[in-house]
């Protein structure tokens, strides 16, 4: 070092005038720098020159500002022996700058302090640049093994980060310097992370020594090396996470600081995971990121709720959701690094994931939020599932924890808190706002029904992206499939699945499309099936779809059957054939008490499932089932099973022409035989045990094949008249109910036979129907309630019926009254049937006085708002609207009224299913309570079994004689022996049943 520099420094120290010191320091900064052994004392002197107290006027700032260029010049020499002194200098300057910064911000409004503040902020900017250079110099020398040096480095880093925090909090108040100061602060953050990374090889060396067996030496150095570095990393993690929080809450002006801070946190955590696992509070870091996510969403929810009528643009949505994605990505990384520590806050993580799902659901259900929900799906859906997957995939976490985590996300309906349920029962129309949902705590969220749909949509996303899960996680997800199916019965979920749409990525993942919620759920389930097909979880999935094959709730059943069809299309042929055979065996083994006319019976639900499966499967399976039924046609259950299959839409059109024609011929023959012998006793065909079975069979056959019957004649019309008379004369309520069902199906058959409407016997049919439906008491109408839809179908065909349209014509009056009867019905299903029939009739009839067919009090004639005032003009207007709707597909946007109706329907369906399950459970309990007594069989059965047994013995003796006869062919003997073996097995089985009953 030049003597002039040392001499000038002494002059500066001895001068009392600040102006002289500033001038001398300026000259000193202009001198050429020369390396010298006196440099450490020179730097120490510069530190002494920097006063601790904050200046009262601008002169002190000018002096300190003049010191920085001198220090920067000598810092560039990279002298290892001076690093300690430069650190001490930096510590002192940082503390002074932090104190002065607060003072400057407070006095900025005073005009006389403006010059002072400007000089200080320039000084601050110079020092931040000097600090960044100091980090570079420190990194060239490893200080962490020296305890004293490590303490100094730690102190230096701490002061720099503290100053950076103060700068970020206050510098934005000084617009003229803020951008440059923020850039310098970003460099400080990057330098801190880089310094720790440069020291990390020392830690790796320590770990390597432990691995190689030098444990003793490693432990000696651990306190000096690992401990010091870990202390610095912990400091960095804490400070950078705080800086990240500050930057995030600045409203988007500090994006660079935000990115650098949180990326720095992740980098620091990756340096020494094994040591940091017990040192760093990982849970706190995750909670900070979660709080940022929730704050961003809450801010957006508040802003968007105030502008309901304005569409949220995609640009605005990206501005909100991009930071959320950034926080999510960092949370995923932290959880993946430290899953055990993250599991301590799994409830908070689960709630965060649910809130994101709830936000998406809310946006997708609002017209002004469609674009925003598309952006949210694109940016956040996959990353949200990744956050959950980071916990589920952790090898160090147990399967029990995975199930607990999923239970907290996908809560059973019984898990809803009573308090919430009671509140909603009193105010069922009040729904929590999105802002309220985002403010829920972990405890209150568990029982909140407003999150129910969000849970369903989240499960859909998890299934869709389940390919990224490991085998244990996939198995855990599969165990929640039953929850998913059961929750569909909830009224809110039910109505949403049937009416709402969801944004989702297409197959390429690049385009967002809108799918109905039902389709989205189904697609995700099929995706899960493919993913699980080669994993241990496949067995769990198979059990799930098998157990729910006969699910009583139609929506759940529909979804399960779609999965069955998907399985059939992709399974091997042998496997499918075997499964169909087992289903047929199960169907044929059902007790005779399972009536084919009861839609809720076990038999009908089985045939319904089989028919659905066959309709969406190769035609060969239909042939296989038909042959199975035909083979068993002599058994008692076969006719009932066949009838049940036809009632549920057995695809007869899939059969080869020969089999199909044989089936039709038999069905027609049974029907004609039944109506001819209807008045005889017993009044049913010997082939069936169900009264009127041939009528039900033919009606079902016509619906399936969509055909008419040219062979049908006036005998059918006479049968209707006889049937109505028997209905009126019957005293037994059950028989009366059956007659009404037969009448309904017969009307359906007639509606498909145009030639019958021109028969003279039709006059009697219409007259009898008019008397039956119009003149009977309400008690009888209870039996006829199921006949009304088919009555409408029958009336629609009257366009071919000749009427005089005069008041004195009995035929015309009967038809008018029947139409009046139907058009007055206010149930929406009957309104639909009646208006459809009337519209069809109007389009084809030759009648001119159509107004006569419409009663003044028709359901559609009433004012919708009041429900009181009725006008024929309103009916015609509503009829026109209805017919136009039938021709055009409207936009798929459900109204509030439609959602309410679906919710009510969902409640009723759920109650029906619950009642059905309770009844089945009650019957099961009654069976269990019955005493297990053996019944004594009738004498005739016992005597017959003895004769059978003796007969088998005699046949066996005869076969022995046959074997000794050389004239008989060997082929004939084999055939006879084979048939006898089957007979012997059957008799043995019957004997065992007889013995069990004795």
- Domain locations in the chain as residue ranges: 142-280, 939-997
Between the alpha carbon of residue 251 and those of residues 245, 343, 376, 910, 938, the distances in Å are 11, 31, 19, 47, 90
Per the prediction, the chain carries an average pLDDT of: 83
Instruction: Name the percent of the chain lying above pLDDT 70.
Output: 81
pLDDT band for 180, please (50, 70, 90 cuts): confident
The closest of 735, 824, 736, 752 to 788, measured between CA atoms, is 824
pLDDT digits (tens, 9 = 90+) for 385-434: 999 999 999 999 999 999 999 999 998 766 554 444 444 444 444 567 88
Does residue 930 surpass a pLDDT of 60? Answer: no
Query: Which residue stretches of 888-969 are H helix?
Result: 896-929, 939-964
Between the alpha carbon of residue 205 and those of residues 140, 192, 200, 276, the distances in Å are 18, 21, 9, 16
Phi–psi pair at 501, nearest 5 degrees: -120, 155
User: Whole-angstrom Cα distance, residue 460 to residue 364?
Assistant: 15
pLDDT band for 843, please (50, 70, 90 cuts): confident
pLDDT digits (tens, 9 = 90+) for 667-695: 999 999 999 888 876 544 456 778 899 99
Q: Which helix (H) or strand (E) holds 505?
A: strand 501-505
- Of 54-63, 346-355, 364-373, where does mean pLDDT reach its minimum? 54-63
User: Residue 428 has what pLDDT?
Assistant: 45
User: Residue 372 has what pLDDT?
Assistant: 94
Most confident of 314-323, 704-713, 880-889: 314-323
pLDDT digits (tens, 9 = 90+) for 561-612: 999 999 999 999 899 999 999 999 898 888 766 789 888 889 999 999 999 9
User: Whole-angstrom Cα distance, residue 342 to residue 352?
Assistant: 13
How many other CB atoms sit within 10 Å of the CB of residue 172?
17
User: Residue 423 has what pLDDT?
Assistant: 45
User: Residue 998 has what pLDDT?
Assistant: 52
Does residue 115 surpass a pLDDT of 90? Answer: no
User: Residue 164 has what pLDDT?
Assistant: 92
pLDDT band for 889, please (50, 70, 90 cuts): very low
User: Residue 883 has what pLDDT?
Assistant: 66
Reading the block at residue 909, the tokens are 């369906």
Does residue 210 surpass a pLDDT of 60? Answer: no
pLDDT band for 261, please (50, 70, 90 cuts): very high
The gap between the terminal CA atoms of the chain, to the nearest Å, is 121
Q: SS in 3 state form for 381-442?
A: HHHHHHHHHHHHCCCCCCHHHHHHHHHHHCCCHHHCCHHHHHHHHHCCCCCCCHHHHHCCCH
pTM of the model: 0.81
User: Residue 457 has what pLDDT?
Assistant: 96
pLDDT digits (tens, 9 = 90+) for 751-796: 988 889 989 999 999 999 999 988 754 555 578 888 999 999 999 9
Does residue 890 surpass a pLDDT of 70? Answer: no
User: Whole-angstrom Cα distance, residue 27 to residue 46?
Assistant: 15
Phi–psi pair at 387, nearest 5 degrees: -65, -45
User: Residue 419 has what pLDDT?
Assistant: 41
User: Residue 793 has what pLDDT?
Assistant: 93
User: Residue 516 has what pLDDT?
Assistant: 92
46 CB burial (10 A radius; 0-12, 13-18, 19+): buried
Instruction: Name the percent of the chain lying above pLDDT 90.
Output: 40
Strands (E), 314-383: none
Rg (CA), the chain: 43
Mean pLDDT of 204-210: 56
pLDDT band for 559, please (50, 70, 90 cuts): very high
Does residue 743 surpass a pLDDT of 90? Answer: yes
pLDDT digits (tens, 9 = 90+) for 790-838: 999 999 999 888 888 788 888 889 999 998 898 888 887 888 888 888 8
- Of 142-146, 210-214, 624-628, where does mean pLDDT reach its minimum? 210-214
Beta carbons within 8 Å of 583's beta carbon, 6+ residues apart: 606, 609, 610
């Amino acid at each position: 070092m030049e003597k002039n520099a040392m001499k000038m420094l002494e002059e500066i120290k001895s001068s009392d005038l600040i102006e002289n010191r500033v001038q001398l320091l300026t000259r000193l900064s202009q001198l050429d720098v020369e390396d010298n052994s006196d440099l450490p004392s020179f730097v120490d002197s510069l530190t002494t020159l920097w006063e601790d107290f904050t200046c009262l006027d601008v002169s002190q700032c000018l002096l300190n500002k003049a010191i920085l260029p001198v220090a920067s010049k000598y810092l560039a020499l990279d002298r290892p022996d001076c690093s300690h002194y430069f650190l001490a200098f930096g510590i002192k300057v940082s503390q002074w700058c932090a104190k002065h910064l607060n003072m400057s911000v407070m006095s900025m409004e005073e005009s006389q302090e403006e010059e002072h503040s400007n000089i200080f902020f320039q000084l601050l900017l110079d020092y931040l640049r000097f600090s960044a250079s100091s980090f570079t110099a420190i990194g060239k020398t490893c200080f962490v093994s020296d305890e004293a040096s490590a303490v100094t480095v730690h102190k230096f880093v701490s002061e720099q980060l503290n100053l950076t925090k103060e700068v970020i909090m206050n510098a934005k108040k000084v617009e003229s310097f803020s951008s440059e100061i923020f850039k310098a602060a970003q460099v400080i953050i990057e330098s801190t992370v880089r310094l720790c990374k440069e020291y990390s090889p020392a830690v790796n060396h320590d770990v390597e020594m432990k691995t190689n067996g030098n444990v003793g030496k490693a432990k000696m150095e651990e306190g000096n090396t690992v401990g010091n570095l870990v202390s610095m990393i912990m400091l960095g993690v804490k400070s950078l996470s705080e800086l990240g929080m500050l930057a995030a809450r600045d409203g988007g002006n500090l994006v660079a600081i935000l990115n650098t801070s949180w990326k720095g946190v992740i980098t620091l955590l990756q340096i020494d995971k094994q040591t940091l696992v017990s040192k760093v509070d990982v849970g706190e870091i995750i909670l900070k990121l979660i709080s940022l996510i929730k704050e961003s969403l809450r801010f957006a929810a508040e802003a968007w709720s105030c502008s309901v009528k304005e569409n949220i643009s995609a640009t605005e949505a990206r501005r909100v959701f991009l930071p959320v994605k950034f926080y999510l990505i960092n949370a995923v990384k932290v959880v993946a690094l430290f899953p055990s520590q993250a599991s301590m806050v799994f409830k908070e993580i689960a709630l965060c994931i649910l809130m994101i799902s709830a936000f998406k659901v809310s946006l997708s259900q609002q017209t002004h939020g469609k674009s925003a929900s598309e952006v949210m799906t694109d940016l956040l859906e996959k990353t949200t599932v990744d956050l959950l997957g980071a916990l589920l995939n952790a090898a160090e976490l147990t399967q029990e924890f995975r199930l607990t985590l999923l239970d907290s996300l996908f809560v059973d309906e019984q898990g809803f808190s009573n308090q919430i349920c009671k509140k909603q029962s009193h105010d069922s129309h009040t729904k929590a706002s999105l802002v309220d949902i985002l403010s829920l705590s972990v405890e209150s969220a568990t029982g909140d029904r407003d999150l129910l749909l969000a849970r369903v949509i989240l499960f859909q996303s998890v299934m869709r992206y389940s390919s990224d899960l490991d085998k244990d996680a996939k198995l855990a997800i599969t165990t929640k499939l039953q929850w998913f199916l059961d929750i569909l019965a909830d009224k809110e979920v039910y109505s949403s699945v049937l009416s709402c749409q969801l944004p989702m990525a297409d197959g390429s993942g690049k385009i967002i499309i809108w799918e109905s919620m039902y389709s989205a759920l189904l697609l995700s389930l099929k995706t899960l099936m493919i993913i699980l097909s080669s994993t241990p979880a496949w067995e769990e999935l198979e059990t799930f779809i098998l157990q729910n094959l006969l699910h009583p709730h139609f929506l759940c059943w529909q979804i399960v059957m779609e999965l069955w069809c998907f399985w059939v299309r992709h399974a091997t042929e042998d496997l499918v054939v075997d499964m169909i055979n087992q289903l047929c065996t199960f169907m044929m083994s059902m007790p005779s008490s399972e009536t084919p006319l009861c839609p809720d019976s076990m038999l009908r639900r089985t045939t319904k499932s089989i028919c659905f499966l066959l309709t969406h499967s190769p035609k060969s399976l239909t042939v296989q089932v038909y042959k199975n039924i035909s083979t068993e046609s002599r058994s008692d259950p076969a006719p009932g099973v066949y009838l049940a299959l036809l009632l549920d839409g057995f695809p007869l059109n899939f059969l080869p022409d020969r089999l199909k024609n044989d089936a039709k011929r038999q069905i027609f023959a049974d029907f004609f035989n039944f109506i001819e012998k209807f008045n005889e006793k017993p009044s049913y065909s010997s082939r069936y045990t169900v009264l009127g079975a041939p009528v039900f069979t033919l009606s079902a056959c016509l619906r399936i094949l969509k055909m008419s019957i040219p062979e049908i004649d006036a005998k059918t019309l006479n049968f209707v008249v006889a049937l109505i008379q028997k209905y009126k004369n019957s005293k037994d309520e059950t028989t009366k109910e059956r007659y009404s069902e037969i009448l309904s199906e017969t009307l359906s058959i007639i509606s498909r036979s145009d030639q019958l409407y021109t028969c003279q016997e039709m006059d009697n049919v219409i007259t009898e129907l008019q008397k039956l439906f119009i003149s009977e008491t309400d008690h009888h109408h209870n039996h006829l309630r199921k006949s009304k839809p088919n009555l409408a179908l029958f009336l629609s065909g009257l366009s071919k019926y000749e009427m005089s349209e005069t008041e004195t014509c009995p035929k015309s009056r009967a038809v008018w009254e029947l139409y009046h009867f139907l058009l007055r019905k206010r149930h929406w299903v009957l309104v639909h049937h009646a208006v459809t029939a009337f519209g069809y009739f109007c389009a084809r009839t030759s009648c001119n006085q159509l107004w006569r067919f419409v009663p003044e009090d028709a359901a559609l004639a009433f004012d919708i708002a009041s429900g009181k005032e009725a006008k024929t003009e309103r009916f015609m207007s509503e009829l026109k609207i209805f017919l136009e709707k039938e021709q055009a597909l409207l936009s798929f946007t459900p109204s509030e009224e439609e959602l309410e109706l679906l919710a009510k329907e969902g409640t009723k369906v759920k109650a029906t299913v619950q009642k059905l399950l309770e009844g089945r459970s009650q019957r099961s309990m009654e069976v269990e309570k019955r005493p297990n007594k053996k019944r004594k069989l009738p004498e005739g059965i016992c005597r017959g079994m003895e004769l059978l047994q003796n007969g088998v013995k005699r046949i066996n003796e005869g076969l022995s004689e046959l074997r000794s006869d050389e004239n008989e062919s060997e082929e004939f003997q084999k055939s006879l022996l084979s048939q006898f073996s089957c007979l012997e097995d059957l008799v043995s089985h019957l004997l065992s049943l007889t013995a069990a009953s004795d």
